[in-house]
Structure formats: C-alpha cells, structure tokens
Amino acid sequence: MVEDQKKYLLTAKKAEDITEWYTQVIINSEFVDYSAVSGMMVFRPDSYFAWNTIKEATDKMFKDVGVQDVYFPLLIPKRLLEKEQQHVKGFSPEVAWITHAGDSELSERLAVRPTSEAIMYDSFSKWIRSWRDLPIKYNIWASVVRWEFKHPTPLLRNREFLWNEGHSVFATLEEAEAERDVILGIYEKILHDYLALPGIKGMKTDNEKFAGAMASYSIEHLMPDGWALQGPDHHSDGQNFAKAFDIKFIDKDGNKKYVYQNTYAITTRELGAMILTHGDDKGLVLPPKLARIQLVIVPIYNNSNKEEVLQYSKSLYNSIKGQFRVYLDDRDEYSPGWKYNEWEMKGVPVRLEVGKRELESKSAIAVRRDTGKKETVSISRLGDELSTLMEDIHSKLYEKASDFLKSHTFTAKDYSELKKFVGEGIVQAPWCGSGECEEKIKTETGAKITNLPSGLQDGAKGEKCVYCGKEAKHIANFARSY
Amino acid sequence: MVEDQKKYLLTAKKAEDITEWYTQVIINSEFVDYSAVSGMMVFRPDSYFAWNTIKEATDKMFKDVGVQDVYFPLLIPKRLLEKEQQHVKGFSPEVAWITHAGDSELSERLAVRPTSEAIMYDSFSKWIRSWRDLPIKYNIWASVVRWEFKHPTPLLRNREFLWNEGHSVFATLEEAEAERDVILGIYEKILHDYLALPGIKGMKTDNEKFAGAMASYSIEHLMPDGWALQGPDHHSDGQNFAKAFDIKFIDKDGNKKYVYQNTYAITTRELGAMILTHGDDKGLVLPPKLARIQLVIVPIYNNSNKEEVLQYSKSLYNSIKGQFRVYLDDRDEYSPGWKYNEWEMKGVPVRLEVGKRELESKSAIAVRRDTGKKETVSISRLGDELSTLMEDIHSKLYEKASDFLKSHTFTAKDYSELKKFVGEGIVQAPWCGSGECEEKIKTETGAKITNLPSGLQDGAKGEKCVYCGKEAKHIANFARSY
C-alpha cells in the first residue's frame, strides 16, 4: 500500500521544472502511459474520454456546416506521396515505411499515413467530373504516424497522434476562402467551451506553413512557461494539389478547371495544452466537460457510523448520477485522505465529502479542484448547486488562462525589447515579411513567428521591421515554441 | 450526362451472379470505392455513416455494462507479437512490417496492428498489481491491417478493416465466462436493431478458433447464395496470454495468480453482410437506422407549376427534417425518373413523390425501397405515417432474412444428405468432435463447421458422427463460408 500511495504524489513543482512536472502528472494521474514503442503512447480511459468528447462535439459542429465523415486507407503508396513536391519534402523524412507483408517483399513501399492528402486526392481526381460534384466537404477521424526524431513527449510530440483531418474541394477561390473563418470559429468554440483554452488566431508565415499549402492559419496557445504551442489549423491549398493530382471539373460554362482545396485539423496535442495550462502541484485539473468522472463522493465514517454514512452517500449518488458522471468511492481499504490525493491527482473537478455531520444536517461538503475552496451544500439544492459550481469552474479556468495570455503578451518597440520579452511570453512586433529576418531572429533569440495575429495587421502601417528597419508589412507574434 | 446515368445502373442480377452483382452495387451506389492500395478500400459518406452509427450504438451498450474506451499504439514490436506462440503463428503470415522510418532502418521491425493483444497486454502486465485493479474492461475502436493474399473484396475481405476490439481481464474464470453472453447479447441486439440481420450463435471448433484463444464463440450469418459469413465474436483466452505476457495479480488471499482474459469484436464486414442480405437488382436496400439519407423528396413539375410544387416540397421538407434525415432533391438538371434510379441504387428507404396532384390534395406519395409499394399519405399525418413506415421496413427486412435463414437450415441424417444440402445453406449434423473428421468433410464438400449452435447441443446425445459414425459430441453447423 505504501508503494500504491506514492504513485499519486508529485515531487516536481510546476513553477520550478515544468517539464519534469508535466511528465510526472500525466503518468502518475494514469491519464496516459508510455508504450513498448518508443515515442508512442497509450490513451488510458481518462485521456481517451476527453479526446472522444472533443471529437464528438467537433464532429457535430462540422456536420452542422455540411461536413461528412469518410474513411481512407491507412497506407499510401510512395508514388502518390511524391506527387506534390513541397508535400513530399515536408513529410518524407518522418515517414514510417512498410516494405514487407508476411514473408514477401512489397514491390512498392507504402507509407503509414502521415496525413491523407495523397491517398484522398487520388480518389477525388476520379470522383470529381462536373460542378455538380462540388463542393466536397469530407473529414476523417484517424491516427497519423510521423517519425519524430526529436525527443518525444506524450501528447505534445508523439510518433503517433489522433486528429481530425478535414479536406474540402471548391469550384472557386472565394468559396474556399469563406470556409476558413467557419472552421476556425468551430475550433475556437471547442477550445473555449470544452478545453477552457484561449488562443490567438492568425496566418502562419511562408517558412512555417503546411507542406504544400499556399497559406496556413493557426490558433496559438501560450503555456505557463512563456512558450507558445500551436493549436488547430486551417490550410488554403489553392490549386497546388489539384494540379499535382489532376483534380479538374467541368464548370457551368463548359470549361475544364482545377479545383480549390482546403485542409484543417485539431489533434490530441490539445490535451497536452490543457494539462500544461490548468494543472497544478497536486496534479491534473480537468475542465468538467472533459472529465470522465466529474464528481467523486468520499464517505467519511468510523466503525460506529459506517453503515448510515455509506447509505447516505449512496442516496446522494443516486440523486445526482443522472445529472453528472459521478463515482462513489466506498473502497474500505483506503482512508479519506488517501482518496483525496488520488482524485486530486486525477483532476476530478468536484469532491463531495460526506460524514456523520453532513448526514445529520442533510448536506454535503463540496470541494472544488481548481481552487480547493469548500462549501456546504444542502441536499435539497444539490443538483442545481453542483451545476452552477461546474460552470463556474469552467469559466474560472478559462478566465485564468485568458488573463495569463493577456498579461504575457508584450509589444516590442525595438529588437532589444523583443529579446528582453522572448521567453516571457508572446512578443508582438512589426516585421518586413522577409524570411531572412525571420530566420535571423529565430537563430539569435530562439523565437519563431507563431503567426500574424488577425485583427492587428492594420497596425503595421507606417511601422519599421523590428530587425532590419525596412518598412513593416505585418505585425508578427514572436515566441519560443513547443 | 449519359455517362452519369450509367453509373446508377446494374447489369448483373443478384440471383444469377451474386459476386458480380455485389461488386457493381457497392461501387455504383457510391457506398465504397477501391483505393490506390490493392485490397484497401475507401469508406465514402454512406458507408462511413452506417459504420459510425453501429459504432456509437455498440459503444453506448458497452458503456452501460462498464466497458471503457482506450487507445493503444498502431505499431507493435516484433518481439511482443512473438510472445504467444499460437498468436504469432496465426498472424505473422499476414503482418505488414515497418522496417524504415525516413531514411533510417529501424533496429527492430514493427508490425502494423493486426490485432492488439500483444501491445495491450504488455501494458496490462505493468498496470495490474492486485485484485483491486480488476476487472479491467477496455475497448478500442480502430483499424487493423491483415495482408490477405486471397482475392480481396471490399468490406468482406480487405487488407484493412475497422472494428471494435474489446479486451477484458478478470480475477476468476467464472467472471470471465459470465461476460460472454453479455457481449454476444449486445452484438445480437445491434444486428437485430440496426442491421436487420439474424444470426446463429455458437462455439467455434478448435480448428476455427482465434489464434491464442481457449475457446471462440461467433454469430454466423447466412447469405442468399447459401454461404455462411462469420459475424461478431467473443474469445475466451483463459490464462494463455496472461502466462505469455506475465500478467499476475495478488489476490485477497495474498497469493500471486494469473488473470483470465477475453476479447471480442464486431467489424465493418457486417456492412457487407447487410448488403448481400437486403440488396436487390435495383441496388442497395438500407435499414432506415443506418441510412445517412432516410428519405428523399422528389418534386415532379412542369414549367407551368414548377414554383408552387417546389414550394410545397420545401414545406414538406421543413415539416419532417427534424424527425428524419431527409434530402430534398430539387436539382433541375435531372428528371424524376433519373432521380428514382439514383436513390434506389443508393438504398434510401423511402421516397416521397410530390406533384401538382399531391399539392392540391395536401398529400405525398410514399414509395418504400424494400417492396416498391406506394401509398398516398396525408400531410396532416406525414411524420407519424413515415415513422411507422420506417419501422415496418426494418421489421420486414429482418423477417425476410430470418425466414430465409430458417428455410435454408437443414438437418442431415447422414453424410450423403450433408453433401446434398451443402451449398444450399446451413447443414446441421452430429459430429464426434475430431478435427480429422472436420478436415475431411471440408476437403470433400467445401463446407467447414461454422459453429456449434448454442441451445442445440443436447441433441447430440445418442447420435453418431455424420462422418465417422462414432459417438457424437456436438451438433455442428456445416456450410461453405465467405
């Protein structure tokens, strides 16, 4: 039992060593685990529940805007992957290759899906004939394999991760461009409503855009250590892939034209962002909608009142189990204090403590995970009070993260200010648009341009590039990035 | 347009050449498609919708009996796959092997998941310490790759398919055995309620059981050509894998013991069974719950009444769209007859025909896909009538399939009768239990033992084996099998 107890304790402090803290918290909370394959992880019930909830909520919003789910093969022939030059250049260093089936060597290598453009667009080129076949708005929920050679970290940088992969095909550039705000709006809503995570929306630079895209847009998060982490994205492929895969249609005017395409994704990386943002020195802090167990009831009894306290706990359990995902922790072999540690480590949003006194006053003590604040709740209002509490926990998590983002977004008037603020958070500065300046700033400060924040671009007018002093074209967000 | 129309026509007849008919119907209906990878297929929106509906309904029933979803890596190190001897023997001839990542050769080959025992049980052996950690009831929804060298057929025999993979761990054999009827009961309900498919439940023979299992149980379907097709299954692994992967726990009595394990699965093959069973010479016939579009409204108009008929159709659409998945086919460039062909091919359960006469009498003509029967429905009762119609279509599909199964299940008194009935359907005959008799019957007749039907086994008492004449131990179902 002593060994058991240790697994719910953290030795690292988040503020002192966030890397070590992160590793301890995700493993000790039993949220995820390492696997026998280096760089690939196991989604245990709590992490899979959170991801599946995100998946179902996102999927519903996709369907509301006309997106249909499909499934394409896991494996992609080498010759297809090589059709678009930038695409293959971006992905081939990370591809896991299948060369044999059983004892036979294959005549052509097959890639395990690192992304599905190549296999999907081969079908699109067969399916699309006329304007009547457009638009196509398809999505797959799948796992992808990218053989990262950098040090892998569960959820944040893995050799396999789960994602949605949206692929749209339009007759015109206007329709294609109009999709971007719809999809990024859905992602923002998921981040806000489910993960309690704020983000900064904007265009990626040419250096940082998706391999094969004309333009990429991302939502960027800021982590508590002042480093940025890229969230969901949407890519405008223009006619790049259409030309490489020969995807043409006959328009209403009788002419053959190439289509316009977009892709977009949200990944299991968001769970890593959620943990880094909300977690504390006691463990995970889960937003209530993503918690597999939202509420744990811990009965506190001694030999003289055990039966009545357990019976009272059971009645509370029955009264709220239809409203919340609740677990009655009536395990006799653990002390209440031990249970508190375990459920705090696992990030369960609310704990109900129930003892003899609560039984007598027909109440329960509700302890919220995010602040540790306790309040006594009468059982006559239990369901309503807990609902309000859950909503408040979610809002406060978002608010706290949002306040942090605001207080750690800096404006740099010159390069020395930029260097001063880098490492503290996001640094906004005017930029001339040249990849050379971007590269040099990255080499000298370790900060890349996370994106060019939407809504701030007018501010570039009349400004000078923070590096070269030439006329600024953009306001860029600089940060060190996960 | 002429080319377009052809794609919704079948040249093969189901009764004459079911193989060719099947291929035409699944491809021409745009249900699935071939892909650039030989033996791997694309799930287009209609097939993915059907599978996802099965998946969600099954998952909900799993959760109700305490099963939790997880996710394990797609790739499995060779050394893990080799831990259980029968298991590796069964799967290694079909494994797709990854040997390279980017330009680097891997130090150990990795298998693309053909099934997840090896990767999961490696984790289970770490996680399970005491009786308090049991039972474990985990499930993953995933794709698996098995490199079939036989001729692949979309949905029925593919190099990649989608499935649920349930993995349970118990402290005792009794608990493990008690799970079988629960899970097979869920599968039977899914087959009945969603796919409208009957089946025969029973134990597999040792020759036919899962590689590594002590005993396998299956639900077997009978297809219209008299061939059987294996449906969902449940395997009792006993302590086989526990010993190979060293999965032990300390029981309440303080002793270290090996666990007992089960696995179970339902796959996308069921969609193939559904099509073979319900489809006809006009195309797919989808059970209403699995149809992405349940109802299509086809307006019939000429230049003089176009606007009013379209407006009336739109009002019908609006009145029922909250109740059904409905599509208003107001495409001007296709004739009503062309649309009928298309939606019949795609298996949409009900078509509503709406013209000037229906507008005037405030009605619509409902045409059911399964029988082609038409009835005039007043719009005042439209929602209710359509609900009843959908339920009736589902029941009739199940009934028809069930009648076929009954009328094509034969009892063979002797070997000559067995030989006579094989090819017509399922043949029930007494069997001594020897693998040798089973093999010889298979070689001589092409029929294998699909399973030993539950509930009929008492009938073996006093009977003689249909092949060797020795005392019968079982009543076996013989059939040629997909």
| A271-298: pLDDT as tens digits | 999 999 999 999 999 999 999 999 999 9
Interface contact B119-A37, CB threshold 8 A: yes
**The pLDDT value given to residue A6:** 63
Is the CB of residue B209 less than 8 Å from the CB of residue B406? no
- Residue whose entry in the numeric block shows the structure tokens 């699935």: B32
Predicted TM-score (pTM) of the model is 0.96
Q: Residue A36: its chain B contacts at CB < 8 A?
A: 73, 76-77, 80, 119, 122-123
Q: What is the pLDDT of residues A180-196, one digit of tens each?
A: 999 999 999 999 999 99
Residue A158, min C-alpha distance to chain B (Å): 11
Which residue of A8, A37, A250 is the best one to mutate when testing the B interface, meaning the one whose CB has the most B CBs within 10 A? Answer: A37
pLDDT at A2: 45
Residue A1 pLDDT > 50? no
Q: Which of A73, A145, A162 sits opposite B40 (nearest CB)?
A: A73
Kindly identify which residue of chain B lies nearest to residue A4, measuring between CA atoms.
B129
Tell if the CB–CB gap between A102 and B119 is shorter than 8 Å.
no
pLDDT bucket at B92, cuts 50 / 70 / 90: confident
CA distance B392 to B248: 52
DSSP B425-466: BEEEEEE---HHHHHHHHHHHS-EEEEEETT-GGGGTT-B-T
Mean residue pLDDT across chain B: 96
Please indicate if any CB of chain B lies within 8 Å of the CB of A152: no
Q: Do B97 and A100 touch (CB under 8 A)?
A: yes
A-to-B residue pairs, Cβ atoms closer than 8 angstroms: 172
How far is A389 from chain B, CA to nearest CA, in Å? 26
Question: How far does Cα B59 stand from its chain's mean position?
Answer: 15
| Residue B206 dihedral angles phi and psi, to the nearest 5° | -60, -35
- Look up residue B255 and give its two tokens: 């002793």
- pLDDT of amino acid A424: 94
Find, in chain B, the residue whose alpha carbon is nearest to that of A71. Answer: B43
Q: Rg of chain A's alpha carbons, rounded to an integer?
A: 25
The dotted CATH code for A293-391 is 3.40.50.800
Query: Of A218, A164, A194, A173, whose CA–CA distance to A394 is shortest?
Result: A194
Letter string b/e over residues A340-378, b meaning 16 or more CB atoms within 10 A of that residue's CB: bbbbbbbbbbbbbbbbeebbeeebbbbbbbbeeeeeebe
Tell me if chain A has a CB within 8 Å of the CB of B337: no
* Set of chain B residues whose Cβ sits within 8 Å of the Cβ of A94: 101-102
Task: Residue B131: list chain A partners with CB under 8 A.
Answer: none
B112: chain A residues, CB-CB within 8 Å: 74-75, 98, 112
pLDDT, tens digit (0-9, with 9 covering 90-100), for A230-247: 999 999 999 999 999 999
Residue in chain A closest to B35 (alpha carbons) equals A123
Contact call for A45 and B69, based on CB within 8 A: yes
Of A448, A476, A454, whose CA–CA distance to A230 is shortest? Answer: A448
A446-471 average pLDDT score: 95
Give backbone dihedrals phi and psi of A465, rounded to 5 degrees, phi first.
-60, 130
Sign of CA dihedral A83, A84, A89, A92: negative
Å between A371 CA and nearest CA of chain B: 29
Q: How confident is the model at residue A4 (pLDDT cuts 50, 70, 90)?
A: low
Q: State the DSSP string of A21-42.
A: HHHHHHHHTTSEEE-SSTT-EE
Q: How many C-beta neighbours within 10 Å does residue B78 have?
A: 16
Torsion angle defined by CA atoms of residues B452, B453, B456 and B457, in that order, rounded to the nearest 10 degrees: 30
Closest Cα partner for A62 from A161, A168, A142, A143?
A168
Cross-chain Cβ contact A73/B41 below 8 Å: yes
Q: Mind listing the pLDDT tens digit for each residue in A387-406?
A: 999 999 999 999 999 999 99
CATH class, domain B293-395, is: alpha beta
Quick check: B40 contacting A, CB < 8 Å? yes
Q: Which residues in chain A (42-101) have CB-CB distances under 8 A to chain B?
A: 42-45, 48-49, 51-52, 68-77, 80, 92-101
Q: What fold, for A2-278? A: BirA Bifunctional Protein; domain 2 (3.30.930)
What is d(CA B334, CA B352) in angstroms, rounded to the nearest whole number?
Answer: 16
Q: Is the pLDDT at B149 greater than 90, yes or no?
A: no
Instruction: Please report the pLDDT score of residue B7 as a whole number.
Output: 67
Where does the pLDDT of residue B412 fall: very low under 50, low under 70, confident under 90, or very high at 90 and above?
A: very high
Residue of A6 and B317 predicted with greater confidence: B317
Nearest to B101 among A77, A96, A333 (CB): A96
Instruction: Give the CA distances from residue B439 to residues B8, B417, B426, B448, in Å, rounded to whole numbers and listed in that order.
Output: 44, 18, 17, 8
The mean pLDDT of A468-472, rounded to a whole number, is 96
Query: What are A311's two structure tokens?
Result: 């019976």
For residue B103, name the pLDDT band (cuts at 50, 70, 90): very high
Q: Please indicate if any CB of chain A lies within 8 Å of the CB of B416.
A: no
- Distance between alpha carbon A132 and the CA centroid of its chain, in Å? 36
What Å distances lie between residue B408 and A346, B22, B442, CA to CA?
55, 21, 19
Query: Nearest 5°: phi and psi at B413?
Result: -80, -35
How many CB atoms are closer than 10 A to CB A255?
Answer: 9
Confidence of residue B1 (pLDDT cuts 50, 70, 90): very low
Chain B neighbors of A103, CB-CB under 8 A: 93
Domain boundaries, chain B: 2-278, 293-395, 409-479
Over residues A418-440, the pLDDT tens digits come to 999 998 999 999 999 999 999 99
A1 touches chain B (CB under 8 A): no
Q: How far is B6 from chain A (nearest CA, A)?
A: 14
Judge whether A307 is closer than 8 Å to chain B, CB to CB.
no
Mind listing the pLDDT tens digit for each residue in B191-212?
999 999 999 999 999 999 988 8
- Which amino acid does the sequence have at B3? E
Write b or e for each residue in A120-140: b if 16 or more Cβ atoms lie within 10 A of its Cβ, otherwise e.
bbbbbbeebeeeebbbbbbbb
Q: Which residue of B has its CA nearest to A110?
A: B37
pLDDT for A421 equals 96
A452 and A400 Cβ atoms separated by less than 8 Å: no
Q: Say which range, A24-28, B148-152, B192-196, B361-365, has the weakest mean pLDDT.
A: B148-152
Q: Which residues of B touch A102 (CB under 8 A)?
A: 92-95, 147, 149
The nearest CA of chain B is from the CA of A454 a distance in Å of: 34
The pLDDT value given to residue B6: 63
Structure confidence at residue A259 (pLDDT): 98
Q: Kindly report, residue by residue over A439-456, the tens digit of the pLDDT.
A: 999 999 999 999 999 999
Mutate to test the interface with B, among A46, A91, A98, A334 (most CBs of B within 10 A): A98
What was the ipTM of the complex prediction? 0.96
Residue A110 has pLDDT above 70, yes or no: yes
pLDDT digit string (tens) for A191-210?
999 999 999 999 999 999 98
How much is the average pLDDT of A48-66? 98
Q: What is the pLDDT of residue A5?
A: 58
CATH number 3.30.110.30 is the correct assignment for the domain at A409-479: yes
Q: Which residues of chain A neighbour B110 with C-beta distances below 8 Å? A: 37, 96
Beta partners for residue B249, in sequence order:
B257
A471 in contact with B at a CB cutoff of 8 Å?
A: no
Instruction: Single out the residue of A170, A165, A169, A115 nearest to residue A139, CA to CA.
Output: A165
Cβ–Cβ contact A27 with B under 8 A: no
Cα–Cα distances (Å) from B209 to A28, B86, B157, B450, B452, in that order, read: 38, 11, 18, 10, 12
